[in-house]
Structure formats: structure tokens, C-alpha cells
A and B are shown apart, each in its own frame.
Chain A
Amino acid sequence: MTQKTVRQYKEIITSRYAHLFLGLLVLYGIYSIVTHTTSFDKITENLKRYCYADYEMKMPRNPLNIREIKYYREKFKERVDALTKGAFDHDRKDEAQSYFMNYEFLYDSCRENGNPSYLLARIVEKGVTKREIPEEVRFDYFILGEKTIVPFPEYEKGPGARTFVSPGENAIYLYRDSLEPILRWYFESLWITQPKQSYQFYGDALSYSLYRDLQGTCEAMFLKEHPKNRRSAEESFVEEGFKTFLPTMLSMGARMAADRKSKFPSDYQYLRACLTGLSLDPNHTMFYLLKTGTLYTYTPMARKGWNLFLQRLDPTYPDQITLQKISETSQDILNRLKVPP
């Protein structure tokens, strides 16, 4: 009896089918390691789902859908609460902010025109700066990387929406992801074409604008250095590129900081910030992006300003557009805008 049992066990152990099962267990081990997520990842994911379900509640839907979304929102809220037990109370913004700050993430939430808006993004840099616009403004700023949770206006407008700056409660947020994908796209096209002459750096209007702003970086990298490692070259290109546009963004931020206490509508504040940035630190790319981007403005003052901006300096003739003209035009529009009541 015992010998028979031993023989049966031996047969099982030496069976190739059993070996395959052991192989599967090893694979499960690898899987468990590579798919491991921290509680931070889980909190972020469930918070994101909760926030987006909250946004969906505000979007026009049929009543049945609303009930479903409401249920999902509650479930994700329950999950966030369960996961954050002991770490922070999600309903208290300051606690949530300090929790995310530990992981170098910025969390913010607010209510604008009755709509909830959340923001969660990696902090690339934070600091204090002083700008003259022409009045001197000192403000705190955060340069934010790719957003994990996008604010409601961006979510509502869809993937094409691009915002360069926005006002936070205590600081100005500068969004690096409004430019980074464009810089990466431009780098990739250059890496593939490997330009040898300056005219090979551009084809369409956007790449021409980028080349005009980043001429030094482009030529140094592709005509002189010829880097071999694509990844490091791309990172350095994006870094250099962003540095070029940062002064404009800071000027925009300064205007936002100065207008913070005004009662201007948010879209009008944004228009003023963009015009200030372009008048003080003009560049071709941001000018082109603002000219060609879809406008979402609701207040008459903002619409009037953007219409003026769109009418001036035709981007189909880019050679006729100079930094000086961009600056003068932006300043002129800014001056012509009446201060709303």
C-alpha cells in the first residue's frame, strides 16, 4: 500500500504535466513582482476614477446613465476611503495635499461655476519668482508634469484642450504637458529625418515655429553633436526646449498672480495672462498654438479679445511674423481690452 502510494507520488512528481504547473507558478511569481502596485498607486487610481465619475455627473447624460455613474462614484469613493484609512481623510483637502506632496505630487480640488474640478500631477519644480509685467509681482509657482487627474475644463473639452497656466489657491501652476508632447513629436521627426541643412528642420507651420524658437538647440544637436543615444538626446532636447518657453509661462503666471484678487472671469484672466506672456517674452510656438487652438470662451470680454488676437498676424505667412510683431500685437490687444465691470 505504502509502496503504491510512493510510486504514485513519484509518478506525479516526475510527470511533465506537473513540471508545467511548476513553471506556471514561477511565472506567477514573476507576474506578482512586476505588477506590484503600491498603496499610493491604488489610491491614485481609485481617486482618479472617483474624480472622473464626479465629472461625468456634470456632463449631459440620460438619467439612467447618471444613476450608474453615481453608483460607480460611490463605489470608488468607498474604495478610496478604505485605502486611505490611516493615511489621510480624503474629504479634507489639506490632508490629501500633504499626503500627495510626500510623493512629490500636487493635488488640488475646487468648485468652479458649480462644477467640481480636481488636479493631480507630478511636481517637476517648485519655486518663487519675481517678474515685472510691468508692475512687480512675486509669486509661488509649481511646474507640473503629466497630469494624472486633469481639471474639469480640460476633461470637458477633450484631448485637444491645452492650458499653459492656471491659478491655484496659493501658487500658480505651469503645465509642462501643454508643450512636452509637441517637443517630443518634433524631436522624433528630426531623429527620423536627420536634417543636414537648416531648411530640413521644418516642413509645416508648427515645426517652422519650433525651429525658429529652438534653432540653437536643434542645430547644436543634429548638425554638430549627432548624439547616438536617442533616449538621452530626446530628454535633453525636451529639457532645453521647455527652458526656452518657461519665461513666457512665468510671465503668464505673473499676470495670473496679479489678477488673482480681481473679479475677472477665469477665461478673461487666462486671455490676459497669454497676452502678457507673449508681449513680454514672445515666442513663435506658443503664439502659433494659441492662434490655431480651439477656443473655449464664454464671457464677452474674453471672446472679443480672442477674436482680436485671431484677426491679427496671419499664421499662413509665418515669415512675416517676428517676435517683435508678436510682442507689439499682444500688448496692443491687451491695451485695447476694456476692463470689465
Chain B
Amino acid sequence: MIPVGTNLSRKHFPVVTVSLLLANWLIYFLFLKSDVHTEFWVRRYFYSTPGDQYPWQLITSLFFHANFWHLLGNSIFLWVFGIFVEDKLEWKAYLYLYFLTGLASNLIHGSMVGIFMRESLFIPSLGASGAISGIMGIYLYRCHYSKIKLLISIWLPIRIQVPAAIILILWFLRDFIGGIDTIRGIHQNVAFWAHVGGFGAGLGTCKYLRYEVQARKEKLEFVADTTLDQYGGYEEGVKAAETLLKTDPDKPEIRLKLARVKSQFRASADGKAHYEQSIKLLLEKDPKKAMEAFIEFWNKYFTVLEPRYQLKLSRLLNKSLHFDLSAHTLQSLIEKDPPPDLYLEEAYLFLAKIYEAQLDRKDLARHVYEKFLEKFPRSRHREFVEQMTQRPLTE
């Protein structure tokens, strides 16, 4: 069975994973047709030979592969698991842990050989599988809730989804048993202890770096993200989203989804509050999305946000040629009569401008100016507004 993907989604392009894959393939093709002198040189100085080791071989051996299939297999595993681990960890930590677990895998493999299989001390090992096992260990720790998409075989292109925890634990057990067999003297052409070591190093590293907190949050986010969009069976998602928002309230997308679910059948105070929060957060991160969310919110609740946010939203609506809606929302804000502040002043003036310039309703604009003068008698814009009110309507 070949892993071909997972049910997770990525936020960033996996720069490091792609670079590592390119480096591996480049080195493979570079030395593919090498003569016997180069081959000897590479074996002697770049493969990892525990009994006759140069320290740099612990790193260089991660970039060399025995043949095309060895490299292809490793590339598939690195792609499937690496891109998501990179997405979760950010590239610097990912690159650091790739090399850390790769080094640890080579050291653990060498140590096991040194303790139990001394006759193999001079057999060189090569390949990125130790580092990739480390990445798989990190994946298990961080993304244990996900599912792995497996292709049954190349000849039987049927895809199944299996929980990541099951498949990765089975994979680890297979390697562990393989490792025990090598200790018992059953010859294997695979450095199983490098896999076991890398995987263990990956898990141990996650534990030491306290990744369980992020893992828990990511799980809640994943559950909320995948189940809140469903028509039914979203209770688990609601629960997950509420738990997540308690500790991490700055999640506008989750909040928005939760707001939609809570407002699905009828308006609710909870739904309204989540809409308001998510729109406020989105205004900073993604104004366009904030505007779309506000339109949804407006259609359901016919109400506006505090002047500070509403002014921004109405301006966005205006910019997107939603002149009517922009005016309606500002009108609604004025009618709501919140405590006066600079934003409210701006809202009056902006509404008047829309009436005048875009909707060609000078009468309404004058009405707004008049109300402005009543509301803000000491405004610094008073002089300008008075001028506007004194203009003849037919001008």
C-alpha cells in the first residue's frame, strides 16, 4: 500500500520539503552515471559507516540513495507527511527537526549496530528514510487525528482512507520487528533501527517541545473546520469550536462557521455575537472576507456593529459598489444612536457624501448634515457642514 495523501489541508507552499526533494533528486542524477573512482569516493566519504566514520557522513548520507526505487519511495513519504508537518511547524523548525531526527536516526542505527551487530559495523547505510521517519513521528504527534489516503497498489488503483494513528503505529511496529530480526541475525537489507530511531526521535522531540498543546488545538480546529460545514452531525464541530475559542479566541474562520451554524435556523444571540467577533477579526486579516461575512450578517440580523468597525465595513461596501447597502448600514448606525465619537462623526459625513455623490439624493444628504449639526454642535467639521446645508438643493 502506498500513501498518496491525507485529509488535511495546507495553508502555505512547502518550500523546504520541495527543496529537500529537489536536492535528493539532483544528487541522485548527478552521481547516477559516475565512474568507479567517483563511486568509491562517494561510498568512502559520504555514506555512513559506523565502524569507520567521518562525522559529516551522518548528514551527507541523508542525501544519497541506493537506486531509483529507494529514492522514489522516500520521496513519496517525504511529500505525503513532510508538507503537512512543514505547514504546522513553520519552515525553520521543520528544517531543524528534519536534520535533527535524521542525525538521531543515524546515531541510533549506528549505536544498535555497535551494541548488537558488531559484524555489520563496516556496512554503510544511506538514504533519507531516518529523517523521514522522524517527520512521520512528528506527524503522528501533531496530526494523529487525520486520515491517510492509501493506494492499494499501482495495479489496483483503489484509494482508501485509514486513521493516521493506526497506519503509523503499524508502520513503526513493522520496523521494530524488522529491527529485532536484524539483531537475531536475520539478514535484512533495510536499516530498520534508523527508521525506529528517527520515528522515536520525532515523537520524543515533539514531547520535549510540548507540541501537544498545539496538537490539541489543531485537532479541535480540524474537527470544527471539517464538521461545521456539514448539513447534519455538526454537534461535534460546535463543541470543538467552542472549546477551541475559549483558549484561542482569535480564529475568525472558525468563529464565522460557528456563527453560521448557530444562525442556521433562526437568529440567536450566540450566532450574532460570533458573527460580530469574526467580522471584527477578519477586518484586520482579510477585509474582503469581512465584508462578505458582514453581508451575510446583515441579511440575517439587520443590525450594525460599533461605529469604529461599521464605518470601515461601510467604506468597503461602498468601494465594492454596494452603494445602497453602504448607505443603509450607515443610516442604521445613525438611527441606533450610539454614544458620539469621532467614528460616528465620520459615519454621518460619509453617509451624506454617499447620498450626495453616489445616490444623487441631495435632500437626504442635507437631512444628514442637519442631524450632524444637532448631534455634534462643537465638531471641527461644523463650518464645512454648515456650508453644505446652506447650498440650494437645485444646484
Contact = CB atoms under 8 A, between A and B. Distances in A.
A317 interface: no
Contacts of B4: none
A36 B110 CA distance: 10
Interface string A9-28: 00000001101110010011
A40 to B, nearest CB: 12
Interface majority SS (helix, strand, loop, mixed), chain B? helix
Contacts of B37: 71
B265 interface: no
Contact of A31 (B93, B100, B110, B209): B110
Given A20-B208, A24-B104, A35 B113 contact: yes
A72 B110 CA distance: 25
A67 interface: yes
Interface majority SS (helix, strand, loop, mixed), chain A? helix
Interface residues of B, number: 26
Given A24-B103, A35-B53, A71 B40 contact: yes
A4 B91 CA distance: 26
Contacts, number: 62
Contacts of A42: 51-52
A75 B40 contact: yes
Nearest to B58: A28
Contact of B93 (A17, A27, A36, A71): A17
Interface in A80-120: none
Interface in B55-114: 55, 93, 96, 100, 103-104, 107-108, 110-111, 113-114
A34 B111 CA distance: 6
Interface of A: 16-17, 19-21, 24, 27-28, 30-31, 34-37, 41-42, 45, 67-68, 71-72, 75
18 contacts: A16-B210, A20-B205, A20-B208, A20-B209, A24-B103, A30-B111, A31-B107, A31-B110, A31-B111, A34-B111, A35-B53, A35-B113, A35-B121, A41-B121, A45-B52, A45-B122, A67-B36, A72-B40
Query: What are the 8 closest A-B residue pairs judged by CB atoms, nearest first?
Result: A34-B114, A35-B114, A35-B50, A31-B107, A37-B51, A45-B122, A68-B36, A27-B107
Interface of B: 36-37, 40, 50-53, 55, 93, 96, 100, 103-104, 107-108, 110-111, 113-115, 121-122, 205, 208-210
